[in-house]
Structure 1
Amino acid sequence: MNRLRYIFSICVVMLTPAFVINARSNISAINSTQRKQLIDDAWQFTLVQNDKGEQVPTSFQMVDLPHDWSILNDFTKGAAMGNDGGYLPAGKGLYKKTLVATNDDIGKGRHMLYLEGAYMDAHVFVNDSLVGHRPYGYSSVLYDLSSYLKPGENELSISVDNSQQRNARWYTGSGIYRHVWLLNLPNTHVKPWSVYITTPKVEKYRSTVKASFDVNGQSDGFTASVYIKNSDGKLLYETNTPINSESNNVEFKDVPLELWDIDSPYIYTLEICLKDKDGNIIDTIDETFGVRKIEYSVSEGFKLNDRPVLLTGACVHSDNGLIGARSYDAAEAHKVKMLKEAGFNAVRTSHNHPAPSFLDECDRQGILVIDEAFDGWRWEKKPFDYSKHIDQWWDADIKSLVLRDRNHPSIICWSIGNEVIERKQIEVVKTAKKLADLCRELDPTRPVTSALCTWDHEWDIFDPLAAELDIVGYNYLMHKAEDDHNRVPDRIMWQTESYPRDAFDNWSRTANLPYVIGDFVWTGIDYLGESGIGKYYYAGENNTEFFVSDQWPWHSSYCGDIDLIYQRKPISHYREILYSDKPSLFMYVKEPEGYYGSINESMWGTYPSWESWTWPGYEGKPIEIEVITKFPAVRLYVNGSEYDTKKVTYDTKYKAVFSVPYEAGNIKSVALDKNGDETDYLSIMETAGNPVAVKLTANRNILTANNQDLIFVLAEVVDKNGNLVPIADNEITFSVLGEGELIGSGSADPKSTQGYHHPNHKAWKGKVGAVIKSTGKPGNVIIKAEAIGLKVAQIKLKSLRQK
C-alpha cells in the first residue's frame, strides 16, 4: 500500500457518522433528472499534512467546492510556496463524499466522475479502491466509477498532494479548486468528449456544419437525431443518421446561421439524441458551438470571418485574486468581462489548461483564446514542476485539453509550451513535433504555437524549433521581427509576452507589419505569486527582480493592466486607445519624483501613475499630467483657466504631456478636433477633501440562489462631495447578512500581509474589494462596509432561485 493509500485508510477509520448523513449524493435521484449533475455541495475536508511536512490530526469540516485551502491563510514569509506562490502554505488534503446507489443504478449504465481540476496529484478512490490519478493539477479528467460502486453507500474520496514545493512559478492554490460532476450514462451512450463540431464552409447565412461522435455500448439498429438550436432553444435544423459502433458523422449543408465574432458572439447548440430500435430516446447530449472562420498569412495578417483583426491580447493566469484559485463560474465571467471592457480581444491562458467556465465566457462575451497546455517540458524550472511528469503524461494531458476544448469558437490556437529551458538541445525539436502533431491529429482546424524566448544573443539557432509551429510565439523579442521576416519570409509571428511599458512599440509593429498578427502583454490582470514582478520601488528598497531574490512582503505581481480588485490602471487605458478607432480620451497624473521616495521601475514595471489630483504638501512644485487620445490636440484647464494646448500625433505616441505646478482644485483636459474646436471628450480630476464616508458599489444587483453565484463589491473612502480620497488608508470591515457569505476581501496592495479570508483590510489608494457568494436559499443579501469615524455604507441585494 503506497503512502497516499495509507493516509486514505487512516482517514476512513476516523470518519464520523455525521459525514455519511450530510455529505451524500443519491445516484438514483441524479439518473431521474440529469445526465450531468454538479456535486460541489457538502464535501468533508481535512488537511492531512501541513506546510512543515508534519502529519496533522484528522479533523473533517464541511466545505463546498470549488475549494482552495491555501488562500484561507495569511501571507507568511516562511510559507512553502515562497516567492513563487505568494508566500502561502501548501500541504496535503483529503476530500470525502458518500454516493448512494441502488441495485438498479448499478446495472443501469455507466457512472463517471468528471473532475475539472484539482491541484495537484489527485488520487480518486471509491470504497478504498484506487480508481485513478493525475499528477498535473490543471487537467480535467474523467474517471469511470461503475465497477467500483456497490448498492447502498459508497465512499468517494479524493486525496490532493501539493506538498512538493516548489512546483510552479506562480500561485496555484491547493485542493479541488474547480467543479466536480457526476455523469450518469445509459449502457449505450455518446462517449464523453467525443462530439466534435467543425464548420468547413463559413459564409454569412450559408455555412456548413459537420459533427462527429462516438457511441459506446450495443447500438445495433440504433439511430441518432441531431438538432441545431439557437440561443433561445428554438429548433432550427434536424437530421437523422443510423448509428455505427465507432465514429458517426452528420452534416448540415448551406444553413443560414449567424457568424460568431468578437463583436457579435452568436452561440448555437448541437443536440444529439440516441434512439433504440423502437424510437425510444436512450441518451441525449448537447454541445455549444459557433460558426466562424479564422485565417492568417504573412501578407494579410489575421482575419476573422474575412475581416482583418489586430490581436490585442492579454496573458492571464488562472487565479481569481481575492478568492485564490477557486474557479466559480461567476468569477470567470467577471474576469472575462473586465478584460473585454479593458479593450482586449484575445487572451493567452498562461501557462496551463484553463477552467472550462472561463472558455464558456470567452465564447459568450467574444474574446479569442490561445489555449495553452504547459509552462515547460522536460527540463525543470522548479524542482517539482511538470518536467517530472511529461514523459508519462504528455499524451493524456494534451488529449484532456484538446478533446475537452475543441468545440469552443473562441479558441483560435493551441499552445504547447512556454520558454522551455532545453531550447538549445536538439531533442527540443522532437518534443515540439510530438506535442504539435497530437494537437493537429485531434483538431486539424487550428494552428499550433509555442512561446519562444532567449536571454542571450543566440536566437537564429531556434529556427528548427520555430519550424515545428504554425505561428511562432515571441516572448519579449518582437524587435527581431523585421530581421526574422527577411531571413524566414513565410514565418507568421505574434508576441506571446511583452513588457507593459512597450505598449506603443508593440502596437506599432502589430499595426504596420502584417506578418506580426498580435501582441499579448504580460499581463492582463495582476495575479498571486511571482511576487514583485512588475513592481516599482523606492530608493533603499529591494532593487532586485523576482527571479533573483525573495521579494517579501510582496505577495503578488503588479504587471497587470488591471489590479487584484479589478480596477484598471492608466496603462490599460493607453493600450485600449492605441488599438481602438473609437474616439476617446484618458488623463492621469505621474507620481511626483521624491513624493514618497526616489522612484525606480523593474523590468515589467511601469511608472506609478494615478487618477489623482490630491498631492498635499507638494504645492507649487511641478507635476506631470499625461493625456492619451487619438484626437489631434488636447487643451488643459487648471482651476477653470486655460493652461496650455498640445498637439497629439503618432510621433508623440498619442500622448499630450503637461507640466503643471500643483495647486489644489481641479484640472480638466479636453480633446480638440481637426478644426481646433473642443469636443465632448474630456476628463476632470478634483482634489479630494477629508474622508467622511465609505461608498459601496456592486457589479450586479441580483444573485442566483445556487450556493455558487458571486457579487464583486468595491468599497471606496470618499469625501463630503463623494470624491474618492486616493490617499486614504482607513481600515474597512465588511459584513454580510441574509443569504450571502463573504468569501474574500482585500485591497490591490501587493505588499499587504493580511490574508484575504479576513473581513477587515486597510484601504490602498482609497479602495478595498470584496467577494460575496450566494447561499442555496433565496432572500435578501445585505452588505455593509464600515470604518472608524466614517459613515457606514450598506447595499441590499436580492438572491433569487434559478429559473
Structure 2
Amino acid sequence: MNKRNLTSLLLLTFCFFTWAQETINTSNRETDFNFNWKFHLQDDTTLPTTIPIADTNWRDIRLPHDFGVEQSFSKEFEGCTGYLPGGVGLYQKHFKLQGNTDNKNVYVLFDGVYNNATFWLNGKKLGENPYGYSPVYFDLTPHLNKTSENILTVHVDHSRYADSRWYTGGGIYRNVKLITVNKLHIPVWGTFIKTPVATKEKATINLETTVNNQWSKKSKFTLVTKIIDNTGNEVALKEDKLTLKGNNKQVFTQDFSVLNPKLWDTKNPNMYKAVTSIVHKGEVLDTYTTPFGIRSLRFDAKSGFYLNEEPTLVKGVCLHHAAGLVGAAVPKGVWKRRLQALQACGVNAIRTAHNPYSEEFLELCDEMGILVQNEFFDEWDYAKDKRKNYHDRNTDYITRGYVEHFQKWAKSDLTRTMLRDRNHPSVFQWSIGNEIEWTYLHYRYDTGFWKDPNNPQAAGGYWGSAPILSPEEIKANYDAAKKGEHILTETAHKLAKWTRALDPTRVLTTNMVVPQTSMVSGYANAVDISGFSYRNLDIAWANKHWPDRHITINENPGTWDDWKQVLENPGVFSIFMWTGIDYMGERDGDWPEKSGWGDLLDLAGFKYQGWNYFKSIWVDEPHISIGTLPVAKSGFKQTGISGQQLPENSNAYKWRDSNMHWNYEEGEQVVVEVCSNYSIVELFLNGRSLGSRSMSESPDRLFRWTIPFEAGTLTAKAGFGSQKVTAQIQTTSKPVGFTLTADKTILEANGYDVSHFVVQLVDANGLPVKTENAKFEFEVDGDARVLGVDNGARNNIQDFKSNSLTSAKGRALMILQSNLNPGTVKVKAKSEGFETQEITLQIK
C-alpha cells in the first residue's frame, strides 16, 4: 500500500469513529454518550439566557471530565478542598438520531455531575440536580429533533468550591449514556433482584421487573428472563404472558431456582446476569440485563458478620471518590490499579466516604470481590464547618453545600442512588450519614466532656477517655438540652424508612462520632448497626448497657488497637481505617501540603510502609519488611543505647512516616521498625546481629530497634527452614540513571483504557534511589493522550495536567489513555544527565 492510500485509509477510519460517536443508532438500548462534547469555563455564575449557546470556540473534550483538577494549585484557594478552585462549566453536545424513532422513547442518563447542574435539550429545560453524587436521567423524547441536529446543554455551577471537606471535582465527571427504548419498556433502574436462599446446594432468585407502557392502550406481551452464569450457560428460564393497561407502570415478579450455584464472595466473586426481554408477537421490544451475585448476608450482635454463612471479618478502608491526578473523573483502570494494591495487603471492603460513588466503581467491586458500605450523606439538616468539621461557623458563599438542598432533595437523591445500586452484590450495607452529630450542637455537650460552646475542639479529654457519665445522666442532659428546628433522631428515622422501603435485604448503619449521646437519644434505634467513629473506648460501655444492639467500627485511625477490637469482641466485625489512600483536602493552613491521611497508598497509588504493616496483620502468608526514620523526627524518646528497644508507650502511628530506605548521616540515631507476622525477628547490620525482638514485647506488632546509622545493608530475618523470610534494604549511592516501567503495554482502542508509567532513579547497582530527585519529561509519539503526572508527595503542588515534573522519593507517575485508533505508541522519559528510556505500547 502506498503512502497516499495509507493516509486515506487512516483518515477514513478516523471519520468513521467520529461519525459513530456523533450519530446515535437507536437500535441499541444503551449508547455511550461520552464523546464529542464542547466545554467552556464561564466567568460568572449567571445562567445563560440563550440556549443552546454558540460553541465554535469552546474546547473539544470527552467525558468523564473534571475541570477543577485541570487548574493550578494556589494558597489563595481553600485547603479544605486541596487548594484547587471550582468554577462554572458549560457543556454542549451536538448529535443526530439515525433510523426510525417512531414508537421510541429516548432518555439521557448522567451518572454524576458536580454540582448544581441544570440541563436543556434544544433550548427546553429538562430539569436540575444540585447533588453532585447522585445519578439522574431525563426523558428527551418531547424535545427531540428526529431528523436534524440536537443540542444537549449542561450548566454546572461549582462556584461554591469549598462546599465539602475534601476535593470534590467539578463538571460532568462520570459517564453519560443515551437510552433508547420502545414505548413498552423496562425503565432505567427497572429491576430489583434478591437471593433469599443462597447455599452451595441451592439458590432461589426473586426478580422484580418494572414495565412501563406508554402506549394509550393496553398491551399484551411475554416477559422472558434468562439467568446466565459466568461461563455463559443458561441456568434458569421464566416466561410469563402478561397484560398492562395503557399509560401505566407495574412491577412483575419472577422466581427462579438454581442448583449448585456459584456463590459470590470476596475470594470468588462469581457473577450472574438476568437477561429480561419484553416480547410482543414474536418481536423483542426491549432487553434489560441485570448483573448480580448469589450471596447471603447475616449480621449477629453477639458473633459478627456472616457472608454465605461463613464468619467474615471486614478489613475495610474509607476512601474519597477522587484519585489524584485524574481528579474525580477516574478511569476504571486507575481504580483497578488502586484496588488491586489494597487487596494485596488484605483489604476486602470499602466505605464510600461520604457519598455515593460511580456505577463503574461498584461494577469493579463486584468483579473483584470487594464489599462496599454505600454511604449517602455527610450533612443532613445542618451544615458542617468545611474548614474544621464540627458545626457550621462560617457563612461565606464558597462553603455553602448540600445542606442548602437537603430538605427538598434528600429523598430523591437517596432513591435514585439506591435504585441504581441495589443489585450490586458488593454493596452489603447502606450508611445513612457520617458524623452527623457535630451539626446538632447539644449532642457533644450531653456527654459531659465539652464545656465551652465557643471552642468545640476543647473536648475535655473526650478522645482519650471512656464515658464519664451513665446512660441515664446523658439521657437527662439530652432531654434538657435546647434543640433546634430539626431533630437528629427524627431525620435519621426518616432516612431509614426511605432506605428500608427500597431495600429490605441489607442492613442500615451510620457513622457515630458521639455515640454516647446517639445510643441514648434514639438515633441508634434508627439503624441496624451502630458504627462508631474513633470511639473504641465506648464499645465495652455500649455493649454493657445495650447488649442486644449490634456495634462495630465504621471509622478509625488504622492502628493495631483498632484491629484488636475486632479480634477481642466477637460482635465487632469491622474496621474502616481513615483512609486507605491519600486524598486532597482537609489541609487548611497546611500549604503547600494539599493531601494526606492515607495509611496504605499515597496520592499516586505508591505504597506507604503502612501497606506492609497491614499486610503483616491481614494476609495469612509469611511477611517481613523494614521501615526506618530518624529518632530526632520520630517523636520517640532517645534511648541512648545502640539496639535498645524503645519504651512500650512508643507512638504506634510512626510507621505512617517510615522511610523504606537506609540513607542517613553517619552515626545518626535511627529507629528501625520491622513489620512481620512471625513471633520473633532478628535484625542484622552488615552481617552483624543486633539482637532479636519478640511479638510479646511489641504491643503494637512493630519490632523496633534504635541504632546509629552505618552505611551498608540492613537485614531482618524471621522463621525457620523453608518458612524463613528475609527483608533487606541497602544504602544507595548517587543516581546514575532511572528505570521506566508500565503496568500495561497493550491497550484497547476504546478511548478509556489506561497505562501507568513509573520512573525511578537508580544507582550504579540498580538499586532505587529514594533520597534524591530529578525533573522528568514524558514524550508520547502516537495516538494517545497524557492524563497527567504526579509524584505522590503530599506537598506536591506542580500542575497535574502536564507532561513533566520533579520526582519525589526518586519516582514519578504518568498516566496515558488510549484514543479510538489502533496503532503503536512510543513513550519516552527524559531527565537531564541520564539516558532516555523508552517503552512501546500497542493499541488494538
Q: Report the TM-score, using the length of structure 2 for normalisation.
A: 0.85
Report deviation, 1:570: 1.2
Report deviation, 1:759: 1.5
SS of the aligned residue for 2:661 comes to: coil
1:634 pairs with 2:670: no
1:284-322 CA-to-partner distances (Å, cap 9, x unmatched) read: 110110011111112211111111111111000000111
Q: How does 1:343-742 map to 2 (within 5 A)?
A: 343-381=346-384, 382=386, 383-420=399-436, 421-423=438-440, 424=443, 425=483, 427-454=487-514, 459=517, 462-500=520-558, 503-531=559-587, 546=588, 550-594=589-633, 608-615=657-664, 618-649=665-696, 652-673=699-720, 679-742=723-786
1:259 pairs with 2:274: no
Report deviation, 1:281: 1.1
The answer to whether the 8 Å contact 1:25/1:98 transfers is no
Cα distance in 2 between the residues matched to 1:561 and 1:607: 8
SS of the aligned residue for 2:682 comes to: strand
1:348-396 CA-to-partner distances (Å, cap 9, x unmatched) read: 0001110111111111111100001111101011441111001110111
Change (3 A) 1:739 1:598: farther
- Number of residues of Structure 1 aligned to a counterpart in Structure 2: 749
Q: Which amino acid aligns with 1:127?
A: N
Q: Which amino acid aligns with 1:63?
A: I
Q: 1:38 aligns with which of 32, 43, 51?
A: 32
1:487-533 CA-to-partner distances (Å, cap 9, x unmatched) read: 11112122211113xx11011011110121111001010011222xx
The answer to whether the 8 Å contact 1:327/1:355 transfers is no
Q: Which amino acid aligns with 2:345?
A: A
Change (3 A) 1:587 1:227: same
Report deviation, 1:144: 0.7
Change (3 A) 1:161 1:751: same
1:114 pairs with 2:109: yes
1:202-228 CA-to-partner distances (Å, cap 9, x unmatched) read: 111311111111111156320011111
Report deviation, 1:672: 2.2
Q: Which amino acid aligns with 1:223?
A: T
Cα distance in 2 between the residues matched to 1:412 and 1:177: 25
Cα distance in 1 between the residues matched to 2:21 and 2:598: 47
1:126 pairs with 2:173: no
Question: Structure 1 stretches of 5 or more lacking a match?
Answer: 1-20, 532-545
The answer to whether the 8 Å contact 2:372/2:427 transfers is yes
Q: 1:99 aligns with which of 82, 92, 95?
A: 95
Report deviation, 1:53: 13
1:560-584 CA-to-partner distances (Å, cap 9, x unmatched) read: 3210111111122212322333222
Change (3 A) 1:463 1:492: farther
The answer to whether the 8 Å contact 2:302/2:550 transfers is no
Q: How does 1:2-81 map to 2 (within 5 A)?
A: 29-32=24-27, 34-49=28-43, 59-79=57-77
Cα distance in 2 between the residues matched to 1:52 and 1:731: 42
Q: Which amino acid aligns with 1:264?
A: N
Q: 1:153 aligns with which of 149, 160, 164?
A: 149
Q: Which amino acid aligns with 2:569?
A: L
307-316 vs 694-703, which moves further: 694-703
Report deviation, 1:405: 0.3
Q: Which amino acid aligns with 2:717?
A: V
Give me the CA root mean square deviation.
2.7
* 1:7 counterpart residue number: none
SS of the aligned residue for 2:527 comes to: coil
Cα distance in 2 between the residues matched to 1:461 and 1:346: 26
The answer to whether the 8 Å contact 2:827/2:839 transfers is yes
635-644 vs 107-116, which moves further: 635-644
Cα distance in 1 between the residues matched to 2:582 and 2:159: 25
Q: Which amino acid aligns with 1:527?
A: Y
Change (3 A) 1:486 1:777: same
SS of the aligned residue for 1:516 comes to: coil
* 2:336 counterpart residue number: 333
SS of the aligned residue for 1:284 comes to: strand
1:43-90 CA-to-partner distances (Å, cap 9, x unmatched) read: 0111112699999997411011111111112101113xx111111121
Q: Report the TM-score, using the length of structure 1 for normalisation.
A: 0.89
Q: 2:138 aligns with which of 143, 147, 150?
A: 143
Q: How does 1:191-270 map to 2 (within 5 A)?
A: 191-217=187-213, 218=215, 220-245=219-244, 246-270=250-274
Report deviation, 1:736: 1.5
The answer to whether the 8 Å contact 1:271/1:286 transfers is yes
* 2:471 counterpart residue number: none
Question: Structure 2 stretches of 5 or more lacking a match?
Answer: 1-15, 245-249, 387-398, 444-482, 639-649
The answer to whether the 8 Å contact 2:635/2:651 transfers is no
Change (3 A) 1:155 1:585: same
The answer to whether the 8 Å contact 1:229/1:268 transfers is yes
* 1:16 counterpart residue number: none
Q: Which amino acid aligns with 2:104?
A: G
The answer to whether the 8 Å contact 2:622/2:723 transfers is no
Q: Which amino acid aligns with 1:119?
A: Y
* 1:781 counterpart residue number: 825
SS of the aligned residue for 1:72 comes to: coil
Cα distance in 2 between the residues matched to 1:113 and 1:759: 35
Report deviation, 1:692: 1.2
Change (3 A) 1:486 1:438: same
348-357 vs 209-218, which moves further: 209-218
The answer to whether the 8 Å contact 2:534/2:556 transfers is yes
The answer to whether the 8 Å contact 1:613/1:685 transfers is yes
Cα distance in 2 between the residues matched to 1:384 and 1:446: 33
Change (3 A) 1:645 1:52: farther
1:316 pairs with 2:325: no
Report deviation, 1:411: 0.6
Cα distance in 2 between the residues matched to 1:444 and 1:172: 31
Q: 1:185 aligns with which of 181, 184, 191?
A: 181
SS of the aligned residue for 1:482 comes to: helix
Change (3 A) 1:737 1:388: same
Cα distance in 2 between the residues matched to 1:94 and 1:264: 44
* 2:811 counterpart residue number: 767
* 2:306 counterpart residue number: 303
The answer to whether the 8 Å contact 2:236/2:257 transfers is no
Change (3 A) 1:28 1:745: closer
Cα distance in 2 between the residues matched to 1:114 and 1:171: 24
Q: Which amino acid aligns with 1:148?
A: H
170-179 vs 657-666, which moves further: 657-666
Cα distance in 2 between the residues matched to 1:40 and 1:641: 61
Cα distance in 1 between the residues matched to 2:321 and 2:815: 17
The answer to whether the 8 Å contact 2:790/2:814 transfers is yes
The answer to whether the 8 Å contact 1:23/1:97 transfers is no
The answer to whether the 8 Å contact 1:667/1:684 transfers is yes
Report deviation, 1:166: 2.3
Q: Which amino acid aligns with 1:417?
A: G
Change (3 A) 1:134 1:604: farther
Q: Which amino acid aligns with 1:667?
A: L
Cα distance in 1 between the residues matched to 2:654 and 2:556: 11
Cα distance in 2 between the residues matched to 1:508 and 1:121: 43
